[in-house]
Amino acid sequence: RKPRVAVVFGGRSSEHAISCVTAANVLQVIDRDKYDVVPVGISTSGHWVLESGDPERLSITDGKLPEVDVTALPVLFGANRELVISEPEQVPSTLGQVDVVFPLLHGPWGEDGTIQGLLEMSDIRYVGSGVLASAVGMDKHHMKVVFQGAGLDVTPYVLIRDRDWIRDPEACRTAVDALGYPVFVKPCRGGSSLGISKVNSLAELDDAIVEARAHDPKVIVEAAAKDPREIEVGVLGGLDGGLPEVSVCGEIAISGGGHDFYDFETKYLPEGEEYTALSVPAELPEELAAEVRAKALVAFDAIDGEGLARVDFFVDADGKVIINEINTMPGFTPTSMFPRLWAASGKDYPALVEHLLTLAMTRKTGLR
């Protein structure tokens, strides 16, 4: 029989909708002559269902964000790599074994090592990074610690844990003040710019912390890079035996419409499109591009990355290369940066999806 791929999407994080949009596109390009495909949705409440994967329903229409169909049949991974229908008070019936999972999930409970752990426990192969890399790559504090350990430059930051904010908010404000403004206030574990604010003075700080805390009780506040150019690089591979490949550099420039950084609207919504310019490849001096690409590989290895990642950098006014973050399951719609970087590096969208599945099929689970 053909290998069976479960494309798992949606999920409990605030990036649920973006995951749905991505999945709709990926489901359309997987080669059905080669693979059996099962769309599996995870609702915002955490229920797993056998989705139809209908691309029309899973797109952003008239500004309305898509959601997993919670009324679909409930499913679970059972023993022996089997996907089973698990309706209450009914005998579970199997949908057969799954050979590989494409966890197209962004943010907590998906991009952070949790589903990777579940799949490891079940001995099921999957696309992308393992438990550790996913967890480190999700946490903007721990990724910085690891990046610094690997010799990469990061922006100065202050961590505001739940207990810090509850016990002594004034000490938090003082610590942030010492960074100098502007600062970026972020949920430590998030993505798609959700919950992120650029703060220009102490007066704006509390609101931004409250906003970030709505996504994650662990908040990170970063000094803003000075007039940075935003450069992103894709990494692929890095599984047993193979050296990771690195894409060309891409650049994002945001201007107008009241947007002063790459926020959710400029990333994903049609109304933000006119303020967002993506250049692939980025117009960079050759030496600088080589430096950024080499640092992307250092970052990927620093977290023990596997399969894929997008590494986000700032090149500041002095030409200094600063790493902003790594994303182990980057935005993956055909117009997203990651697929565009690979298209410009010789792998179009269907080829990229095929490559990721091929890598995953040879991936071993466990400590190997």
**Residue ranges binding Mg ion (CB under 5 A):** 191, 312, 325, 327
Does residue 152 contact residue 192 with C-beta atoms inside 8 Å? no
Q: What's the min distance (Å) between Cβ of 353 and ligand ATP?
A: 20
Neighbours of 137 (CB within 10 A): 30
Interface pattern 309-348 for ligand ATP (x via CB under 6 A): ---x-----------xx-x---------------------
Tokens representing residue 190 in the block: 């998030």
Beta strand 321-327 with 125-126: parallel, antiparallel or unpaired? unpaired
Cα–Cα distance measured from residue 299 to residue 232, given in angstroms and rounded to the nearest whole number: 12
42 contact partners, CB below 8 Å, separation of at least 6: 8, 9, 10, 11, 12, 48, 49, 68, 105, 109, 110
Look-up: residue for tokens 């001096």?
Answer: 285
112 near ligand ATP, rule: CB under 6 A: no
7 near ligand ATP, rule: CB under 6 A: no
Q: What's the min distance (Å) between Cβ of 331 and ligand ATP?
A: 6
Does residue 363 contact residue 125 with C-beta atoms inside 8 Å? yes
Q: What's the min distance (Å) between Cβ of 107 and ligand ATP?
A: 8
222 near ligand ATP, rule: CB under 6 A: yes
197 near ligand ATP, rule: CB under 6 A: no
Shorter beta-carbon distance to ligand ATP: residue 26 or 188: 188
Report the partner that residue 155 touches, choosing among Mg ion, ligand ATP, none (CB closer than 5 to 8 A by kind).
ligand ATP
Neighbours of 187 (CB within 10 A): 23
Of 29-37, 142-150, 186-194, 343-351, the segment contacting ligand ATP by CB under 6 A is 186-194
279 near ligand ATP, rule: CB under 6 A: no
Does residue 75 contact residue 40 with C-beta atoms inside 8 Å? yes
Q: Give the residues lining the site for ligand ATP (CB under 6 A).
A: 155, 184, 186, 190-193, 196, 222, 224-225, 228, 230, 261-262, 312, 324-325, 327
